[in-house]
Amino acid sequence: VKARQRNNSVLRKLTGKALENFRANTNYRQRKCCLKKRKRLINNKPSSFQNFQSFGKVTKKLAQKYNLVPKPVQQRTCANISDEIKNAVHKFYLRDDVSYQLPGKRDTIVVKNDDNTKITYQKRILLNNLRESFELFIEENKEIIISHSSFADFRPPFVVPKAALAQRICVCIYHENANLILKAIDKFVKENVCSSLQRFTGTLVCNSVNQECMFLACPLCESNFQEKVIDNVCEQSKYFEQLKSEVTDEKVVIQVDFAENVGLKEQDEIQSVHWNTKTLSIFTAYVWSKSQGFSFMLPSNDVSHDKFVVNSATEIILNELKTHVPSLKQTDSFLMAQPHNLSNILCHGKGVVDGLGGTVKRLVWSAALAGDNCKSAKDFVKLAQQNTKKIIIIEIKKNDIDNSKLKLENIFKVAKSVLETLKTHSVK
C-alpha cells in the first residue's frame, strides 16, 4: 500500500516524456518479477513444496498452460425442473380463475417457437400479480418445490401481467363496489385485513367455503357480517376446473356464449355504408373431452339472442359433436349469456369462448381488409373456413331457428311452471 501511495505521488508530478518513461520502467519491473516467480516454480524440486497437494496444483496449472490437459469449464449447477412441474405451472397460468382471456380481435400476441415458426395466441391477463399467483400455486400444490423466479420464467408469453390491461370493463357491480371500499380503508386498517375481498370475508366468517357461514345461518359468526353475501365465484371456478379434469369420451364439458355480435365491415367504404353497419350474432362454444378439445363458432343473421337461437345452436353443436365423439352420453354445460339478463348481470364467467370469438373475428377482419366481401353469415362462414381449420364453423340458418321455435312452443304449452326460481342459486 505504501509503495502504491509513493508511486501515485510521483505520477502526479510527472508529465510528458518523463511520465511515459516511468510507466515503461514500471511495466518492465512487473514483467521481470513475474518471470522470476515462474522460473522459481518450474525449477523447484518436488521436495521443496510444502505438500503433495501444492505440487499437484502447480503441475496441473502448467499442463493446462501447455495444452496437455483441457482447461476446466466453469458451469453453474442448479436443480433440473421436471417437465411435469413445467406443465403444471403452464396449466395453472391458463386457468380461468388465474388469468382472464381478452375477447378483442386485436388482443393477440405472436409467439416464435424454437423452429422459427410463429403462432398467434389470444392474450390473457393475470388477475393477480406474480407474487400472489405464485403463493396460490404453492398453496394448491404443496408437494411441488419451485422458486418464485422459476415460476415467473415458466409463464407463457401470451399471459401478461394485469398492468398490460388498459381498462377492465363488465366487472361485477357488487364485488367492485366492495373492492373500492376496501381499497380506500386498507391504509387505515392494520394487518392487511382489507387488502382483498377474499381476505376481508375470511376474517368475518368461520369458513368462507361453508354456505351456512356466508348466508348468516351459522350461530358462531352470524353477527359478524350484516349483509347477505352472494356465493363466492371462486367456488364456481373450482367446480368448473374439477369437471374439466374429470372429462371422458362419454362425459364432456361444454362452455357456450350466445351474447357476442360482430359488425360486417369492408375495405374502401363510403360514409353512408360506414354508419349503417350490418350486424351478425355469434354463438361460440368449446368442448373438453378426454381425446381432444373442440372449438365451435356458429354465426347467424338473427341478432335476437333468444331461446330459439340458443336451442338451435345447441342442437347443431351436439349433432356435430356426436360425429367426432360417438361414445358421448353426458354433457355438463356452462353458459355465458347477455349482461342485461338478470341471472348474468354480475358479468361473472369469462372464459375461453371470449378468446375464440376474438380469434375468428380477427381472421375475418383481416380477410375483409384484403378486399374480400363479407355481407352475410354465409360470407362470414366462408371467409372463416378459408383462414382456419381448427375451429368448426357452421351457420345457423333461418330454417333451424324456425324448427326450434315450433318445437319449443309445443313443449311450453304442456310444461308446468316452477315457482321461485329467482331465489334459487343452483340446482343439483
Average pLDDT estimate for 356-361: 86
Long-range contacts of 104-108 (CB under 8 A, 24+ apart): 104/358, 105/358, 105/359, 105/361, 105/362, 105/365, 106/362, 107/355, 107/358, 108/358, 108/359, 108/362
- The DSSP annotation for 248-271 comes to -SSEEEEEEEEEEEEEE--SS--H
Measured distance CA(374)–CA(282) in Å, rounded = 15
- pLDDT category at 105 given cuts 50, 70, 90 is confident
Measured distance CA(158)–CA(111) in Å, rounded = 8
Within 8 A by CB and 6+ apart from 284, the residues are 256, 257, 260, 296, 297, 298, 353, 354, 356, 357, 360
pLDDT higher for 280 or 56? Answer: 280
Give me the pLDDT at residue 166, please. Answer: 60
Give me the pLDDT at residue 343, please. Answer: 40
- pLDDT category at 231 given cuts 50, 70, 90 is very low
Query: Nearest-5° angle of CA 130, CA 127, CA 247?
Result: 105
Q: What is the mean pLDDT of the chain?
A: 80
Task: Report pLDDT digits (tens) over 378-399.
Answer: 999 999 999 888 899 999 999 9
Give me the pLDDT at residue 341, please. Answer: 43
- pLDDT category at 419 given cuts 50, 70, 90 is confident
Question: Which residue, chain included where needed, has cell 505440487?
Answer: 55
Average pLDDT estimate for 319-346: 70
- Write the single-letter amino acid at 10: V
- pLDDT category at 134 given cuts 50, 70, 90 is very high
Helix 2-13 with 17-43: angle, nearest 10 deg: 150
Average pLDDT estimate for 101-113: 83
- The DSSP annotation for 115-174 comes to TS-EEEEE-EEESS-HHHHHHHHHHH-TT----HHHHHHTS-TTEE-GGG-S---S--HH
Give me the pLDDT at residue 342, please. Answer: 38
Give me the pLDDT at residue 395, please. Answer: 93
Give me the pLDDT at residue 416, please. Answer: 85
- pLDDT category at 225 given cuts 50, 70, 90 is low
Measured distance CA(366)–CA(323) in Å, rounded = 31
Give me the pLDDT at residue 155, please. Answer: 93
Give me the pLDDT at residue 346, please. Answer: 41
Give me the pLDDT at residue 47, please. Answer: 54
Dihedral of the CA atoms 315, 318, 324, 328 (nearest 10)? -150
CB 169 within 8 A of CB 187: no
- pLDDT category at 339 given cuts 50, 70, 90 is very low
Global pTM value = 0.55
CB crowding 211-225: b at 16 or more within 10 Å, else e: eebbebebeebeeeb
Give me the pLDDT at residue 348, please. Answer: 46
pLDDT higher for 294 or 206? Answer: 294
Asked whether the predicted pLDDT for residue 347 surpasses 50, the reply is no
Asked whether the predicted pLDDT for residue 49 surpasses 60, the reply is no
CB 391 within 8 A of CB 360: yes
- pLDDT category at 345 given cuts 50, 70, 90 is very low
State how far the alpha carbon of 386 is from the alpha carbons of 106, 363, 366, 379, 381, in Å: 20, 9, 12, 11, 9
Give me the pLDDT at residue 87, please. Answer: 92
Asked whether the predicted pLDDT for residue 298 surpasses 90, the reply is yes
Give me the pLDDT at residue 233, please. Answer: 43
Give me the pLDDT at residue 93, please. Answer: 93
- pLDDT category at 92 given cuts 50, 70, 90 is very high
Highest mean pLDDT among 63-77, 152-166, 371-385 belongs to 371-385
Task: Report pLDDT digits (tens) over 170-197.
Answer: 667 777 787 788 877 777 777 777 777 7
Task: Report pLDDT digits (tens) over 240-280.
Answer: 788 888 899 899 999 888 878 888 887 777 777 777 788 89
- pLDDT category at 167 given cuts 50, 70, 90 is low
Measured distance CA(96)–CA(404) in Å, rounded = 32
Asked whether the predicted pLDDT for residue 50 surpasses 60, the reply is no
DSSP class of 193: T
